[in-house]
Amino acid sequence: MMMTERDLYASAKQTGIISAKQDNTLTSAGMELLCKELRQINENPEKFNNQITQYLKHFGGALPAHEPISAIFATKELFFTCIGVDGSQIYPDPFSPIRFGWVSALAYEMGHGVTLKDGLCVSEQILDLAEDEQTVRNYIDLSRAVIEMKVASEVADKGGSNKVVLLDGSLIPWASFSRNTSLRIRSLLDQYQTYFSKSQGSLIASVISNPHSRSVINLIEFSLVIPVDAYKPVRYGYRDRDLFTHVLKNGERSAIFFNGSAHNQRFTKKGLGIYFFYLKVNDEIMRIELPQWIAKEPEKVDLVHSAIHYDSTDLSYPYSLAQAHYHVVLKNDVADAIRNLAESAYYQAGGKVRHWSAKNRIKHS
């Protein structure tokens, strides 16, 4: 039986209906039940902490910190300035003989504009990764995280005690290891941690907009499963943002949680452990990640909470980060012009003419 265009449209329509039914399962009653289960953990925190400590190897979600996990905290009027740090990159054209890679980052402060900018060519580092495009992209992405943290640590050092430095995304960079790249990836992670550690004592945090995590949902699930060995992470349905959209009001934050991910162990061993809380600004939920030197000091947490809320009032996202992104992002035409310049230099230096496969000649004609 041949699939027709009508079948394609019918399949799309049916998928929309199924998705709507799944969304409709996220009811207020379900949210109330989750809230009740979260409060029940609070009723006997010592018992739960003993349970989760004993079976920690089975669990990688949110872990209770020093605050009651169902607690809610209103923002305080502490108007600190935010400095946004964001980065961009140029990936090499997979069909080009030129393996050009570039990462850059800058800091933006309202009233001062771009206050610091840095960039790095990573072409030499990726030359022997040319056969594996995903590995090349992973390496460049991690290099971008390193240069972002470098800029963040430098502006944190110069910024003074009344400014909060914000990064976009997680404070724990994602890293993929392979037999051919493990040493270089570890070297980049070491560089990242070196710059991160230089910011100790400063007010630094990261913002994840529209977070997809289920780490708190999994904490609740873990508390309900008996025996604990039977615990399995929740991979569908409610997300943390659904729970805290229901629980929080504008300007309020959740309790602080410890990031129980195995990737956080590398940071925790060096006194750089990552914590987080959820913040509601207007109708948006953001996940705010903090290093432990802030998370364990309530006054510093209040400063970060207030600064991010104030900076996000107009856009429901930090203005400083939005501006940092605007100024650092490389437009497609600029990236193409840079690649063309590199390719022109390649041919002038005697490089071999690019061989396009028949398939690619047809696709690009």
Structure tokens at 364: 């690009």
Confidence of residue 176 (pLDDT cuts 50, 70, 90): low
Task: Let me know whether 275 and 131 are in one domain.
Answer: no
Q: What is the percentage of the chain residues whose pLDDT exceeds 90?
A: 45
Say if residue 141 is in the same domain as residue 169: yes
Taken as a whole, the chain contains a residue count of 365
Tell me the whole-structure pTM to 2 decimals: 0.87
> Could you tell me if residue 193 is inside a domain?
yes
Same domain assignment for residues 170 and 306? no
Domain residues for the domain of 269 are 27-80+204-317
Domain count along the chain: 2
Lowest mean pLDDT across 87-96, 123-132, 282-291, 292-301: 123-132
pLDDT in tens, 307-361: 999 999 999 999 999 999 999 998 888 878 888 888 888 888 877 766 666 666 6
Q: pLDDT, tens digit, for every residue of 277-295? A: 999 999 999 999 999 999 9
Q: Looking at the domain assignment, is residue 362 inside a domain?
A: no
Going through the chain in order, the beta strands assigned E by DSSP cover: 62-64, 81-90, 102-109, 113-121, 163-168, 204-209, 257-259, 274-281, 284-291
CB within 8 A of 63, min separation 6: which ones? 52, 219, 257, 258, 259, 260
Query: For residues 44 and 69, what is the distance between their CA atoms, to the nearest angstrom?
Result: 11
